[in-house]
Amino acid sequence: MAGVEAGYFVRALELRSGAELRIKQCDAGDVGCVVWDAALVLAKYLETSSFYRDGLHTFTGKSVVELGSGTGLVGLMAAVLGGESVKDLPPAPDYILVADCIYYEQSLEPLLRTMKELAGKNTCIICCYEERTMGNNPEIEIRFLKLLQADFEIEEIPLDKHDEEYKSEDIHILQIKRKQDH
Ligand SMILES: C[S@@+](CC[C@H](N)C(=O)[O-])C[C@H]1O[C@@H](n2cnc3c(N)ncnc32)[C@H](O)[C@@H]1O
């Protein structure tokens, strides 16, 4: 069958250039082995003209860190779009990208702490998450946003600015910046 090898499933994401990003997704493994829908939505959003609106955003020559990368699709897209590949974690990177990392209680505090320690006053954090209705997921999302608001300004990117094909009512993209007085 096309795209299937023993133990792997190849996820191919077509880029605007016509090239493909191909990720080998394991048949078995933990959450980090899967390309999650939020990663696809965020990766394709980074290619849209809305992201580059008025020349506000570009990855060319910028330092980009992906948190909770799993298979790394979003970071790979940033590299394709010109993001700098760095060996050491840069302080106050230009961009921090986060896909599908808000889903369990124990991850909230470490994720927030990492964002606070890493983000400088000009860092742009782009966080994409899937709204889930299972268990206490709704409360976790609300709690995360509330905690985040203490130190960061949050702007939700409207659905009509997402990629035309890779978008969904239940997948949200947030642009987050440190409050300037923090
Ligand atoms: C649902 S997966 C999303 C993976 C990838 N971003 C994507 O969207 O395809 C969540 C990822 O966050 C990582 N993660 C969650 N909590 C973490 C923590 N406290 N420290 C480091 N990584 C964490 C998991 O290992 C996993 O790779």
Digit-coded pLDDT (tens) for 108-160: 999 999 999 999 999 999 999 999 988 899 999 999 999 999 999 999 999 99
> 122 lies in a domain?
yes
Closest atom of ligand 1 to CA, residue 73: 9
The predicted structure's pLDDT at residue 1: 44
Q: State which ligand 1 atom lies nearest to the alpha carbon of 128.
A: 8
In a domain, 5, yes or no: no
Model pLDDT for residues 13-28, shown as the tens digit of each residue: 999 999 999 999 888 8
- 13 falls within a domain: no
Number of domains in the chain: 1
Distance 111 CA to ligand 1 centre (A): 10
Q: Is residue 161 part of a domain?
A: yes
CATH number at residue 170: 3.40.50.150
Name the band, by pLDDT with cuts 50, 70 and 90, for residue 64: very high
Residue 90 DSSP label:
P
Taking residues 42-71, report their average pLDDT.
90
- Closest ligand 1 atom number to CA of residue 35: 9
SS3 176: strand
The answer as to whether 91 is a domain residue is yes
In a domain, 14, yes or no: no
Ligand 1: distance of its center to the CA of 57 in Å? 25
Ligand 1 centroid to 55 CA: how many Å?
30
In a domain, 154, yes or no: yes
**16 alpha carbon – ligand 1 mean position (Å):** 27
Domain of 42, in residue numbers? 31-178
Residue 3 has pLDDT above 60, yes or no: no
47 and 77 Cβ atoms separated by less than 8 Å:
yes
Ligand 1 site, CB within 6 A:
31-32, 35-36, 38-39, 68-71, 73, 99-101, 107, 110
The pLDDT of residue 4: 56
Strands (DSSP E) found in the chain: 4-5, 8-14, 20-26, 64-67, 95-99, 124-130, 152-156, 171-178
Residue 153 is assigned to a structural domain of this protein: yes
User: How many angstroms separate the CA atoms of 62 and 123, rounded?
Assistant: 11
